[in-house]
Structures are given as C-alpha cells and as structure tokens.
Chains A and B, each alone.
Chain A
Amino acid sequence: MQKTKDALLEIGTEHLPARFIASTLEQIRTRTRKILAEKSLKCKDIQTLGTPRRLTLILLGLEEYSEPMIQYAYGPKASLLKDNQGNYTPQAIGFAKAQGISVEELEVKATSKGELLATKKSQPGISALKIPPNLFLSILSSLTFPKKMEWEETHIQFVRPVRNLLALYGKKKILFEWAGVKSGTKALGVLSTGNKTISIPEVSRYLTLLKNRCLLIDPEQRKEAIIQGLDQTVKKFGYHWLKDPELIHEITFLTEYPTPLLGQYSLKFLKLPRQLLLTVLKKQLKLFPVLDAQNQIQPYFAGIRDGISEGQKEVQEGYERVVEARFSDAAFFIEKDHRIPLTGMREKLKKVTYHSSLGTMYQKSERVIALTAELCDHLDKANNIDSSLAKQIAELCYADLVSEVVKEFPELQGTMGGEHARLSGLSEAIAHGIQDFYKPTASGNDLPQDTEAAIVSLAGKLDSIVGNYVVGNIPSGSEDPYALKRQGTGIIRIVLEKNIPINLKQATAKAHELVLENLSGDATQEQKEATGAVWFFLWDRAQTYFEEKGYTFDEIEAINTFDENDPTPQEYPIENLLKTYRKLRALHDIRKQPEFNSLVLIFKRASNILKQNNYIPNGSNSNPQLFCEEAERTLHENLEKVRALVSNKLQEEEFIESLKIMVALKEPLDDFFNKVMVVVEDKDLKENRLKLLHNLVGLFKSIADLSKLQA
C-alpha cells in the first residue's frame, strides 16, 4: 500500500455566471477522472465544490506515486535476431546497443506488425507532487463554456477572470502558473469584506477554515441553508413561501453564504395580476412570493442575501423600496395597457412585423382566424364546437403582444391578454382561450383547457411551423431558434391528449395555402412544396412523443404508413393521429401475449416470401378450387372466418380486440408453412398460394406491419 495524501485545487475567479457552475464542476470531475487514469494515479475519491467565486477540486487519498508503467521498445523483425549460422545479426546487436542492453537480453514480442525484437522499459512511478501541476493545468485549459472571454495578456480564455489559484498536496504547495496567476497556499477571501485571502496550511483544514470565514462552498449545504433559513423566517408569520426549484438553484449559485431575508410591500399591489406579480418577483428581483395556508399571495417577499446579516434592516428596506418601485412600474404598464381595448391592440399588430417575407403579426392573426374556421368546419358536428367562440379567441390571441407588460415581460404573452379580456368584460371562455393559446409552453406542461382554445392553439402553431418552413427556418439538430419542435410537440399533444380528431395533413395544406397568399414575392418551387417536409416533421414529433411514452422504435415503425419510398401511401399516419395512436397501443398490448411473438416470426416468413417473389397483387382473391393441400384450405378458411369476425371491429377501430382474434391465425399459418411448398413449378398453384399469403399479410397490415417488429 502506498502512502496517500489529499490534493486540493481552488480556482478563484470573479463571479461566474450562476447557470454554468454546476456543469463546470461536473466537467472538472470527468476530466480529472480521465487524467488520473491516463497517469495511472489512484485516489479514493474526487470531490468538487463551488461558489460563484471559486471552483474547488479535492482529490481524497491521492497516492504519492503513480503506478510504474511497463512499456516496450521495439526493434527489427524477430527473424533478424540470428543469421543462418546462428550468429546474432548486426541489426540485432545494433538495436541492443542502442537500448543499452546486451543482445542476449532481447525478447521477441508479437505485435500488429508481426514478431519484433523488443526490450522491456519500465517507467518508475511519478511523484504525485509532480503530476498535479499538469493535472491542474490541463483541467484549467480543458474546461469548455458556451461563452469565454479574455482579460489579461497571455490571451488565455475562461468564462470569467481567474484571480487566485490555491494548490496543495497535503501540506505542500504545488507550483504552477496560469493566466498570469501563480499558484499559492491561500484561498480567495470574501469580496465584500475586503477580499483578504485565507491561508490554508493543509488540505484537510480547507473546508473548516473557509467556513470560519462564512464561506459555504458546498452547493448542497447552501441549498439546505436557503430552504431551512427561509422556512424558519417565513414560518414565524404563519406563512409559507413558494419554493421555486429553478430559483433556488440559481440563488444557490449566486451566493457564497446565503442569509434569509423577509420584506413587505404595499397591500395595493396585490391587485396586480398574480402571474405578473410572480414574474416581477422572480425574474426582476430573484425573490420568492409568500403565501398563506390557502396559497393566497401575501404582501411579503422572501429572499436571500449574500453574506452575513450585518446591516440586515438596511438591506431589507433597500429591497422593499426596489420591490415597490418595480411593482409601481408594473402597475403603470397595466394601467396604460388598460386604456386600450384588446381590439385596439389588435389593430396595432399591423405595425408589428412577424417576418419580412410573411407579413405583419396582423396578417398572421388573420391567417390563424381563417385556419381556425377551416378546422372547426372539418371537425364533425358531433364534436360540438362553438366556432364563433373559437373565432373570437383567434382574433384576440396575439393582441397582447403590443401591450407594455408583454413588451417588458415576454413570458407573460397570453396570460396578460387573458387578464385584459376579463377586464374588458369579455366572456370567461374567451379570456381563458387567450390565456391558453401558447400552451404547452417551454416551462409548463398544461394544455389548453377548452376544445375551442385547443383548436386556435393548433392553428397558431401550425401557421408558425408552416410559415417558418416556407421561409427556410428549418430546425436542424439541436438548433431550433423558432421553437418549432416545441410547437410541433404541442400540436401532437393537443391532438392526442385533448382527443381532437383533426386531419393534420389537410390542416397543413390549408395553412400552407394561407401562408403562400401572404408571401411577399413569388413562391419558389421549393416553397410551393413545403408541405411534404412539414408532414415529415410532424410525424417525427409524433414518433418522439410515442417514444417518450414508452413505445419502442419497432412498434412505431410497424404502424407507420409513411414510407419514404412510397410517395402516395394510402393514409399518412398523421392524417388520423388518434387512430394511429390506437393502433400503436393495441400492438404494444398484444405483444405481451406469449404466442404473439411466434406469430411475428411466421408473419415475417410470409412477407419475405412475397417480397422475394416480387408478388404484385392483382386484386382478386385466391381461388379455393386450386387448393390441393389440406393445410392451405384450412388457412384460407380460417383467414376468411377471422376476416369476417374482425371486419366490424376494424371499422370501429377496436384494434386490440381485432388483434386478439387475429392471433388465432398463427396455428393454421404455422401448419401451412410446415406442409405446403409455396414456390412450386406450377405457376397457377404458386400464384394462388402467394395470393393467400398476401391477403393474410394485408389483413394484419390494416393495423400494423408485423414484419417490422423485432422478435
């Protein structure tokens, strides 16, 4: 067993962006693990900790020396060791000499280049003291950030300036220099109290010494401190606070020593729309709302300050003034917005460009109205849709984009329109519809509540997708600046989860027609044919949705009627997405039956035979007169019996029931393959048998192509 000590690196920086810290610590761990393995250096544990001003790496129980490494030096081919007379060749002697050994000591090693003369070169272990400088340097230079900067003369890039480096192995300083900073034995201090550095005599005392200076460098501890601190503070008043996990995470990485804070604001601001109030507190001030037992917002806020509670009263009053000022701002905007009715705001959309080739937001709004009307028409009367309600929602859904509040807080689009509609005395259904228009949003999972709102929401999303496809803004890889993927998924979810039997193929075509009418300039051929790409895109979104729901890739393939090689499938899977989904569920369920798996195998055999014989169906049924084997007659009879049994069920889209019945074909089909040769000399006989198989395959294919399933 080697002796071990702990090693420590603290990268002291100016304030790192909160959103990068956790991922950077993760990078440091991964990188360290990799480098230690490369250097054959062992340690018990790798720990990373951090605050906005320091990234800390602790290697617990790092061995003093790396493992000795054994390497070989290779020379000429093994056949050159001795000549025919059994004497060492000059090549062998030369190589041994160069390696500083006698020729007798040469070994023969098999390599990818054949057998070679070789000699073992073992490299002794390297002192851990020597490795960390390189280790630490390579960590520092390997970290990646979405955005880097320069700040000093070596041109080194990092996310924010590095101002201090602490590097220790046990009690010993590890020396190196990076970005103009020499490593030392001092940790970065607390900025607001003068930035005095903290001497660290040995690694094991690092955490305690920092804690003594009120630095909590373990993010988990800070998170605990935030939650417990605020719990206690707010509980005193008999309230609780809205524990927004996103904000807690952000504040964890905005502070080195979180101290709870509670403040108050004027009762009058509770009249502000709830979402606006919450947004101002969270986005502008990074504060948490305080609620009573009924979850009603109270005129208090909970927050965190960085550092000890010196001057707490001043800090609290400072925050209170800012909160009041921000709320006054918001109230000012609201008041100004409410002077203009929503219909008036809609007029202002004429001045807002949506896209230089796609016209104004007003034109977009007109397209959404037209598309909504079309969708309402197409949906069965049985769906009981109030198309005039849908029209009203469609007219006003974009109006709030010109409101002061939405200009200030874009994330409140929809929400503010809904509030405004209510205040202008429009019906709750309209207000709700406007509010739900953008759902599901990036942050929320909710769907539009009413069917009418759901239809308008579909129309809006479809117009955005088709419009962007027409002007060439097509998402690629992870690049999706117009959030088309999210909107596409939104469409799929609305159709499936709100159970709206809409034909997405036709709807896309209509949206496309409307977009082309508004397009500035003549449409290119590509723009005229953009619908195809949108169909694929929507199907792709649907597949992703299915996969997330736990359906496997082969199941989805089996129900996919979208064949890239077949330009005119009978029915695209997005045409009746609800039906597609029912097929998928049925298939997924029936697979749990043990006999289904063997059915899949023989089904594959049937479809392979058809494929190998390039069977082209001619429409007619197989001729029972031509059957000469018992097994083929039985199969035919069973097939017709099953077909009769399931025909109604298929009509009613009872796919699972149908599949359960169809599984009965397994045995006769099995028997058929055991006893009957399909490919025979007699052409008529062969044709007739292929026809039988084709009919059987066809019956299954009305639900799913089982040959796509992995057995």
Chain B
Amino acid sequence: MTFQEIIATLERYWAKQGCLLLQPYDLEKGAGTFNPATFFGVLTEKPTRVAYVEPSRRPTDGRYGENPNRLSRYYQYQVILKPAPSQIQTLYLNSLKTIGLDPKRHDIRWIEDDWESPTLGASGVGWEVWADGMEITQFTYFQQMAGSSLFPISVEITYGLERLALFSQKKKNVYDLAWNEYWTYGQVHLDSEKQFSRYNFEEADVTILRNHFENYEKEAIALTQKGLYLPAYDLTMKCSHAFNLMEARGVISVTERTEFITRIRNLAKRVAQTYLKSAEKESALK
C-alpha cells in the first residue's frame, strides 16, 4: 500500500468507528498529542472520538536526510477515543487488517511503554506495539493531562505512518517509500529534511528564539486572563517549538532545560484551567 493509501484507509476505518475526522492542526508541534483536539478533548467528561493525521516536528531527531530511519519531521496518525471501549485492542488490530497487516500472520507484540510529556504535564500507561520487530504504534491510556487527573479515561492510538508504510511496502529506507504510484517519500521530503536539519542544528537564531519564547509566554498568560484559552494554547505550542529548536541548537544547559520545561508546563496548566472553568460555566448554563 502506498503512503497515501494507508492514510486514506485508516481515515475510512476510523470514520466507520464514529470518529470525527479532523485535518492536521496548522502549527508546529512535537506530537499529535499537542493537537487541541487531544489536549482539550481528553480534559472534560464529554465523550469524544476523533482521528487525524499530524505532521510532527522533532528538531533533535534530524539527520540531514542521511539516516534511513530518522526524521526531524514525520507523520503520525492519531486516534482518541473517550471513554476507552472495552474491545479497543481488537478494534485496533482490525484497523491493521484494513492496511493488509493480518495479525494472525504476523508477530504482534505489546511491549510495556508508559508515556510522559513533561511539557504538557501529561502521562499515560500503555505499550508500543511491534509488528515483526518494528514499532508501529504507541498505544496509551491517558491518566493525566496538564497536571489534572482524567475521567473518563481516553485511549490514544498513535500510528507511525512511515513505519506502517515501511512494513507494508517491505522497504528499509524511509526515503524509498512510495507516496503514491508516481512519487517517493524522498522526492516529497528529502530536501526539507536536509534544509531543516541545517536550520535546526546550525542556523536557527537563538536570540530570536529566546525573544519569541518570552513574548509567546507573556501573550499566552495575558490571553488566559481574558478567558481566550484557544489562542493561549496556540502560543503555548509555539513556546514548546521554540524550546525544541533551542535544544537542537545545543545551547540549553540542563538547569535551563528544566526551567523551560516547567514554564511550558505551567502555561499548559493555566490554559487547561481556563478551559475547564469555561466548560463548567457552559454546562451550568445548560
């Protein structure tokens, strides 16, 4: 299956499970979890089912396009279900069947892997799922988001789309993947990997990034005070990405790193509190 067919197939599958199909959120982020649909979606008691593709940026993972498996920007397919259905494992395995991965004919392993995002103040319990030794999915029951304990519990399924494609197409190098019948992954993304690796590791202007961070943070705080949690959250994501870039530039000491992470987490908490307060008000009005 081509890269784009895999996406299309997963979209169809999860749409049938009642998921709202969203499009990627238009800001840089480290993982699909940062998408507002997940961040806000898991916080309240309201049931939710969403699925979306999310391009994820990890500046430090860049390898100038030289490494066949590591990318500074890659694609996740993210599914959030709340409350978590009791047959969720089977539901997930059935999704693999639709993209030609029959669990009966492969070695599917569920390897303990608890997940934590110190910047979001989030944590969960779950597994990485292996298919014949390849990690294809991160499967997590969220326990906390923005420092708050969650109820009901959401389950998050994050497919590594490149991994699924490598598996499906029996390729060893991500740049050789067929995006469709005409284009390879390399043709679409190799240049961007090269250029962004240089930008992330060598060129990003640290002074500007530091200023950005300060400004985004200031503005985010001001916005939460006005109850505008959505734009405030955008700015929180921007802080997080600015921090990731500074880290890739190798200019952050261990102590500073902890400080930056704490600042972003505090923003995330503040945004979440603002949202919860407004959600409470809304439900009181009903």
Chain A residues near B (Cβ < 8 Å): 14-15, 17-19, 52, 147, 149-153, 155, 160-161, 163, 180, 191-195, 254, 261, 285, 287, 303, 305-307, 310-311, 314-315, 317-319, 321-325, 328-329, 332, 351, 353, 356
The interface residues of chain A lying within 8 Å CB-to-CB of B105 are 310-311, 314-315
B205 at the interface (CB under 8 A from A): no
* A315→B90 contact, CB < 8 A: no
CA of A52 to CA of B255, assembled, Å: 40
**Residue in chain B with minimal CB distance to A251:** B109
CA of A332 to CA of B143, assembled, Å: 37
For the residues of A in contact with B, the DSSP-based class is: mixed
A sample of 24 cross-chain residue pairs with beta-carbon separation below 8 angstroms, ordered by A number, consists of A14-B110, A15-B112, A15-B127, A17-B112, A147-B125, A152-B153, A161-B84, A161-B86, A192-B103, A192-B106, A193-B104, A194-B90, A195-B87, A254-B111, A307-B107, A314-B105, A314-B132, A318-B134, A319-B133, A321-B134, A322-B132, A329-B68, A329-B70, A332-B67
CB of B186, distance to nearest CB on chain A (Å): 16
CA of A353 to CA of B152, assembled, Å: 41
Top 5 nearest A-B pairs by Cβ distance?
A: A318-B132, A311-B105, A305-B107, A17-B112, A15-B110
* A329→B69 contact, CB < 8 A: yes
* A328→B68 contact, CB < 8 A: yes
**Residue in chain A with minimal CB distance to B107:** A305
CA of A307 to CA of B108, assembled, Å: 9
**Residue in chain A with minimal CB distance to B131:** A318
B141 at the interface (CB under 8 A from A): yes
* A329→B125 contact, CB < 8 A: no
- Picked from A52, A150, A356, the residue with its CB within 8 Å of the CB of B153 is A150
B108-140 CB mask vs A (1 if < 8 Å, else 0) is: 111110100000000001010001111000000
A14 and B89 in contact, given A150-B153, A306-B107, A324-B172 (Cβ under 8 angstroms): yes
B170 at the interface (CB under 8 A from A): yes
* B132→A151 contact, CB < 8 A: no
- Picked from A163, A192, A328, the residue with its CB within 8 Å of the CB of B172 is A328
* B66→A332 contact, CB < 8 A: yes
The interface residues of chain B lying within 8 Å CB-to-CB of A150 are 141, 143, 151, 153
B74 at the interface (CB under 8 A from A): no
CA of A324 to CA of B134, assembled, Å: 11
* B107→A353 contact, CB < 8 A: no
* A149→B143 contact, CB < 8 A: yes
The interface residues of chain B lying within 8 Å CB-to-CB of A163 are 86
Chain B residues near A (Cβ < 8 Å): 63, 66-70, 83-84, 86-87, 89-90, 93, 102-112, 114, 125, 127, 131-134, 141, 143, 151-153, 166-167, 170-172, 250, 253-255
- Picked from B69, B84, B93, B172, the residue with its CB within 8 Å of the CB of A151 is B84
CB of B104, distance to nearest CB on chain A (Å): 5
* B90→A195 contact, CB < 8 A: yes
* B111→A195 contact, CB < 8 A: no
* B104→A160 contact, CB < 8 A: no
**Residue in chain A with minimal CB distance to B84:** A151
* B110→A307 contact, CB < 8 A: no
CA of A269 to CA of B84, assembled, Å: 44
* B67→A306 contact, CB < 8 A: no
- Picked from A307, A318, A328, A329, the residue with its CB within 8 Å of the CB of B167 is A318
* A321→B172 contact, CB < 8 A: yes
The interface residues of chain A lying within 8 Å CB-to-CB of B67 are 329, 332
CA of A305 to CA of B109, assembled, Å: 8
CA of A15 to CA of B63, assembled, Å: 34
Given A306-B108, A319-B132: 15 more A-B contacts, CB < 8 Å: A18-B112, A150-B153, A152-B86, A192-B93, A195-B87, A310-B105, A311-B102, A314-B105, A315-B107, A318-B134, A323-B133, A328-B68, A329-B70, A353-B255, A356-B254
CB of B259, distance to nearest CB on chain A (Å): 11
* A149→B111 contact, CB < 8 A: no
Q: Most A CB atoms within 10 A — which of B114, B132, B151?
A: B132
A321 and B125 in contact, given A150-B143, A191-B90, A314-B105 (Cβ under 8 angstroms): no
**Residue in chain A with minimal CB distance to B102:** A311
CA of A18 to CA of B131, assembled, Å: 18
CB of A197, distance to nearest CB on chain B (Å): 12
Counting residue pairs across A and B whose Cβ atoms lie within 8 Å, the total is 122
* A314→B106 contact, CB < 8 A: yes
- Picked from B70, B87, B106, the residue with its CB within 8 Å of the CB of A315 is B106
The interface residues of chain A lying within 8 Å CB-to-CB of B253 are 353, 356
The interface residues of chain B lying within 8 Å CB-to-CB of A325 are 68-69, 166, 172
The interface residues of chain A lying within 8 Å CB-to-CB of B171 are 321
CA of A308 to CA of B179, assembled, Å: 33
* A52→B102 contact, CB < 8 A: no
The interface residues of chain B lying within 8 Å CB-to-CB of A180 are 86
CA of A323 to CA of B69, assembled, Å: 12
CB of A614, distance to nearest CB on chain B (Å): 56
CA of A307 to CA of B132, assembled, Å: 12
The interface residues of chain B lying within 8 Å CB-to-CB of A18 are 112
Q: Most B CB atoms within 10 A — which of A151, A311, A328?
A: A151
CA of A353 to CA of B259, assembled, Å: 15
CB of A265, distance to nearest CB on chain B (Å): 11
The interface residues of chain B lying within 8 Å CB-to-CB of A287 are 133
CA of A18 to CA of B143, assembled, Å: 21
The interface residues of chain A lying within 8 Å CB-to-CB of B107 are 261, 305-307, 315, 318-319
The interface residues of chain A lying within 8 Å CB-to-CB of B84 are 151-152, 161
CB of A11, distance to nearest CB on chain B (Å): 15
CB of B85, distance to nearest CB on chain A (Å): 10
* B89→A191 contact, CB < 8 A: yes
CA of A195 to CA of B103, assembled, Å: 11
A153 and B83 in contact, given A285-B133, A311-B104, A319-B133 (Cβ under 8 angstroms): yes
CB of A664, distance to nearest CB on chain B (Å): 64
CB of A626, distance to nearest CB on chain B (Å): 72
* B152→A153 contact, CB < 8 A: yes
**Residue in chain B with minimal CB distance to A255:** B109
CA of A155 to CA of B83, assembled, Å: 13
**Residue in chain B with minimal CB distance to A53:** B110
CA of A356 to CA of B253, assembled, Å: 9
The interface residues of chain A lying within 8 Å CB-to-CB of B152 are 152-153
A19 and B250 in contact, given A315-B107, A329-B67, A353-B255 (Cβ under 8 angstroms): no
* B125→A351 contact, CB < 8 A: no
CB of B33, distance to nearest CB on chain A (Å): 17
**Residue in chain B with minimal CB distance to A287:** B133
CA of A407 to CA of B254, assembled, Å: 15
The interface residues of chain B lying within 8 Å CB-to-CB of A153 are 83, 151-152
The interface residues of chain A lying within 8 Å CB-to-CB of B153 are 149-152
Q: Most B CB atoms within 10 A — which of A149, A152, A329?
A: A149
The interface residues of chain A lying within 8 Å CB-to-CB of B127 are 15
CB of B11, distance to nearest CB on chain A (Å): 24
CB of A116, distance to nearest CB on chain B (Å): 51
- Picked from B109, B125, B133, B167, the residue with its CB within 8 Å of the CB of A254 is B109
CA of A152 to CA of B154, assembled, Å: 10
A19 and B112 in contact, given A311-B105, A315-B132, A323-B133 (Cβ under 8 angstroms): yes
CA of A353 to CA of B151, assembled, Å: 39
**Residue in chain B with minimal CB distance to A304:** B107
CB of B103, distance to nearest CB on chain A (Å): 4
The interface residues of chain A lying within 8 Å CB-to-CB of B86 are 152, 161, 163, 180
CA of A287 to CA of B151, assembled, Å: 39
* A307→B69 contact, CB < 8 A: no
The interface residues of chain B lying within 8 Å CB-to-CB of A332 are 63, 66-67
Q: Most A CB atoms within 10 A — which of B69, B125, B172, B255?
A: B125
CA of A180 to CA of B86, assembled, Å: 10
The interface residues of chain B lying within 8 Å CB-to-CB of A319 are 107, 132-133
CA of A319 to CA of B114, assembled, Å: 24
CA of A269 to CA of B254, assembled, Å: 35
* A149→B69 contact, CB < 8 A: no
